[in-house]
Amino acid sequence: MNYRFQIVLLFTLTFSFLTHLEGQDDDVYMIKKIHDEALGKGKAYPWLTDLCTKHGERIAGSPAYLGAANYTKDILAGIKGVQSYHQPCESSYWKRGAKEQVKIIGKNGKNIRLSALSLGNSVATPTEGITAEVIEVQSLDEVEKLGKEKISGKIVFYNRPMDPTQLRTFSAYGGAVDQRVYGPSKAAEFGAVAALVRSMTTSLDDFPHTGVTIYKDSLNKIPGIAISTLDAEKLSRAIKKGPVNVFLKTNCQTIGMKSAPTVIGEIKGSVFPEEIIVVGGHLDSWDVGQGAHDDGAGCIQSMEVLRLFTALGYQPKRTIRCVLFSNEENGLAGGRTYAKLSNEKNEFHLAALESDSGGFSPKGFSFEADTSVFKSYYKHVSKWLPLLESYGLHFEMGGSGADIGPLKSQKGLLIGLRPDSQRYFDFHHTANDRIENVNKRELELGAAAMASLIYLIDKYGIK
C-alpha cells in the first residue's frame, strides 16, 4: 500500500466517521456525561460493598438472600422517580451444612486433607462418611467406556482441566463444566459411590469452586464434591503411583421450596411506556464468599443505570426496568417466573441487557434475538458503534444471559455485557469472590457502558 493511497484512505474513513456522527452531538455529550457521573459521583462501589459485607452468601431461599432482596428494593425506592417492588418467586433451598471433610488415606495413618466444597444440590454422604478407591477419568464418555465392572463401588474423579489455550475463558468453561453438572449423575449410573470434580478454573490455586450439579431422577443419587485445582493435581499424582483411597464426609441437604423474590425497580416511559427495556443481573449467589463478581456486580451496575438517568435529569421515552433475578445459580426460577408473568400480562420487552460476567473492565456487548428479527436489529444498533468505540467497546453476535433468555419468545433484542473475562474464573463460585477483588473503576465503567447503550436504545428504538 503506497503512502498516497494511505492518506486518501485515512481521509475517507475520517470523513465517513464524522458524517455518521453529524447530528449526534447530543449523544456524544450525553454519553460523556454518563461516564463523568459514574466515575466521579458513582454509587456502584459503596452499594456493592454494603451488599457483599452485609448480605453475602446469598443462596436463594436463605435468610441472607431475603436480606439482600430487602436491601436492594430499598435502594431502588430511594432513587427519584423509581418504583420498586418484589415479584414473588419460590425456589428450592439447598443448604451446605457443616464443613466438608475430604482426605486421601495415607500409609501409616498420615492422611492428606483436600480443599473441597460440595456441589450445589448434592446429596450428603452417610453419617459415617464414605471411604473408597478413586478412579480418575477425563470425561463422561470415559465413564461409559469403563462400565460398571470398573466403576462400581469407586469414587469417580473427573480431572479434565479447562482448556488454557482458549482466549475466551467462557468457552473454556463451557468445554469442561459438563463434568460438574452431569458428572455425579453419570458416575451413579455405573455404580459409583461418590464423585470428585476438578474445580472450574484455569488457575492453579487452593480455592475449590462449587456450582450446580443435576441428577437424573431415576438414578440413585451420590455425593458430588469439587476439589481445588492444586489438590486435583496432588490427587492425580498419587493415583499414578498406585491405588488411592479417599474418605469423604458431607452434610448438605435440600430443605424444600422457599420464598426468594425477584427485585424490580422501574422508571415509566414518557412516550412509549408499553415498550420495556430491562437491565439486570441475578441477586442470588452461592453460599461461599460474598457473590461480589457473580453477580453482585451485575445487579449493582443495573441499579446504577437508573440512578445515572435520574441524576442527569434524563426522562426515558420507554419504560426502563431494573430486574434483580432470583435463583439463577441452581434453578433459574427467577428468570422463568419473570418471563411467564410477563407473557401473561402481554408485555413486550423491546430489549433486555444482562450483566453476569463479573465487574471487570467492559469490552463490549453481545447480541441475540429470534432469527426473524435479529438481522434488522443488529444492523440498526451497529450504527451506534462509533459513539462507543472511544470507550473501548465493541459489538458482536452471541449469547446474552441466562436470566433474560426466557424472554426471547417476545422477539426483542437480548444483550450481554462483555467485560474482560481473563480473571473471572479465579473467583467464580469460590470463597474468594469478595468485594476486595472488585476494582472500583472497572465496576463503574461497566455501569456507564450499560447506561450508554440503554440510553441509545431508549432514544432511537431498534426498528
| 328, 402 contact by CB (below 8 A) | yes
Residues 106 and 88 in one domain: no
Residues 107 and 206 in one domain: yes
Q: State the pLDDT at residue 23.
A: 54
Cα–Cα distance measured from residue 463 to residue 461, given in angstroms and rounded to the nearest whole number: 6
Q: What CATH number is given to the structural domain containing 346? A: 3.40.630.10
Residue 287 has pLDDT above 90, yes or no: yes
Per-residue pLDDT band at 109 (split at 50, 70, 90): confident
Which grid cell sits at 43?
454509587
Is 399 inside a domain boundary?
yes
Q: State the pLDDT at residue 108.
A: 78
Full residue range of the structural domain in which residue 277 is found: 23-93+257-460
Per-residue pLDDT band at 7 (split at 50, 70, 90): very low
Lowest mean per-residue pLDDT among 89-93, 103-107, 189-193, 455-459: 103-107
Q: State the pLDDT at residue 19.
A: 44
Comparing 18 with 42, the larger pLDDT belongs to 42
* Parallel, antiparallel or unpaired: strands 413-419 and 362-368: antiparallel
How open is the CA angle 32-33-34, to the nearest 5 degrees? 90
Residue 341 has pLDDT above 70, yes or no: yes
Q: Rounded to two decimals, what is the model's pTM?
A: 0.93
| Chain mean position to CA 144 | 31
Number of C-alpha atoms within 13 angstroms, CB side, residue 135? 21
Which is nearest to 264 in space by CA: 431, 407, 111, 72? 72
Please state the φ and ψ torsions of residue 9, each to the nearest 5 degrees: -65, -45
Q: 346: buried, middle or exposed (CB in 10 Å: 19+, 13-18, 0-12)? A: exposed
The tens digit of pLDDT for each residue in 355-368 reads 999 999 999 999 99
The amino acid that residue 191 corresponds to is G
Residue 268 has pLDDT above 70, yes or no: yes
Residues 228 and 284 in one domain: no
Per-residue pLDDT band at 107 (split at 50, 70, 90): confident
Residues 231 and 262 in one domain: no
Residues 317 and 431 in one domain: yes
Mean per-residue pLDDT over the chain, rounded = 94
Mean pLDDT in residue range 141-159? 98
Residues found in the chain: 463
Per-residue pLDDT band at 219 (split at 50, 70, 90): confident
| 92, 284 contact by CB (below 8 A) | no
Mean pLDDT in residue range 23-43? 94
Is 11 inside a domain boundary?
no
Cα–Cα distance measured from residue 119 to residue 116, given in angstroms and rounded to the nearest whole number: 9
Rounded percentage of the chain residues whose pLDDT exceeds 70: 95
Q: State the pLDDT at residue 217.
A: 83
Mean pLDDT in residue range 13-41? 77
Cα–Cα distance measured from residue 430 to residue 117, given in angstroms and rounded to the nearest whole number: 9
Out of 251, 266, 291, a domain closes at 251
The tens digit of pLDDT for each residue in 54-90 reads 999 999 999 999 999 999 999 999 999 999 999 999 9
Mean pLDDT in residue range 323-342? 97
* Residue the block writes with cell 458513582: 42
